Homo-oligomer: A and B are copies of this chain.
Amino acid sequence: MKVGFVGLGIMGRPMALHLADAGHQLFVYGKRTVPEDVKAKGATICGTLREIAEAAEIVILMVPDTPDVEDVLFSADGIASGLSPGKVVVDMSSISPIATKEFARRINEKGCDYLDAPVSGGEVGAKAASLTIMVGGPEKAFERVKPLFEKMGKNITLVGGNGDGQTTKVANQIIVALTIEAVAEAMLFARRAGADPAKVRQALMGGFASSRILEVHGERMLKRNFDPGFRIELHEKDLSLALSGARSLGLALPNTAATQQLFHAAKSLGGAKWDHSGLLRVLETLAGGEK
């Protein structure tokens, strides 16, 4: 298929390479910024985003945040300006579910389908083509794009209509952050009360406290391995999406808010690029340092 790909960064680059390897024809943008290995796969370099939309059947976005998606889609000479009916825009960035519904509406007005398809699994998952992909949008468009998703990810779910993919990603990030924070509080309590946190974790693994987070991030805390993994600065952004969404919807998310504050504190402690399990260090700092 003819696939436009906008956003060839840490995540986007390996994802685009998987599509090229599967024989899809890539259309990309930015003479100087396209990575050499993407050029080497024969990607067509377009002079404007508009040209990508004119040439490709399916346009994938993988950019940092909501304003970036808006800019790529709707600026002058942006993607929307080059669309014609029957094409599909697939936003794989992690952005606001509420803005997503508006973007989808405006793309639909061009006679095109929109899928929001954020991922989890990070750079490792992007490279291994093992991303989890949470999709919102029409089933027909989902089936059409699915062969591309299957080259980039493993656990691919159509959750519902437009916005629902982004909502699922936000829900995921809330649970992951708050569970890491919970494990950090418990591990800190155990150590300071004089117990061996490794034995405590072991005793908890079979019961109701058991989770992937206790398994993976609990072990990171024990080994004090805070190399990412998933960086605190990125998780902070995701909780910020949750909280601005909550504000629009009139919801109080007290522990999401508190945990975002701890992520802020981590950044002030030099931890923007720590793995998110480094939340433990913030709690330790509040308790007089590592002891």
Q: Which residues of A contact B (CB under 8 A)?
A: 97-98, 120-121, 132, 134, 136, 155, 157, 159-161, 163-164, 167-168, 170-172, 174-179, 181-183, 185-190, 192-196, 199-200, 202-204, 206-214, 216, 242, 245-246, 249-256, 258-259, 262, 283, 286-288
Contact = CB atoms under 8 A, between A and B. Distances in A.
Contact of A204 (B172, B192, B204, B242): B172
Contacts of A283: 251-253
A122 to B, nearest CB: 10
A182 B132 contact: no
Contact of A189 (B179, B246, B259): B246
B252 A193 contact: no
Contacts of A190: 167-168, 171
B120 A199 contact: no
Nearest to A213: B208
A255 B182 contact: yes
**Most interface-central of A160, A176, A200 (chain B CB within 10 A):** A200
Contacts of A168: 190, 195, 199-200, 203-204
A221 B98 CA distance: 24
A276 B200 CA distance: 23
Given A160-B195, A255-B178, A189 B209 contact: no
Dominant secondary structure of chain A at its interface with chain B = helix
A113 to B, nearest CB: 18
Given A195-B163, A195-B167, A206-B132, A255 B259 contact: yes
Nearest to A120: B207
A170 B188 CA distance: 12
A247 to B, nearest CB: 11
Nearest to A210: B212
B194 A163 contact: yes
B202 A157 contact: yes
Contacts of A255: 178, 181-182, 185, 255, 258-259
B186 A174 contact: yes
Nearest to A204: B172
A163 B287 CA distance: 21
A212 to B, nearest CB: 5
Nearest to A162: B194
A216 B207 CA distance: 12
Contact of A196 (B134, B159, B177): B159
B211 A256 contact: no
B258 A262 contact: no
Nearest to A166: B193
Given A182-B255, A250-B288, A159 B212 contact: no
Contacts of A98: 193
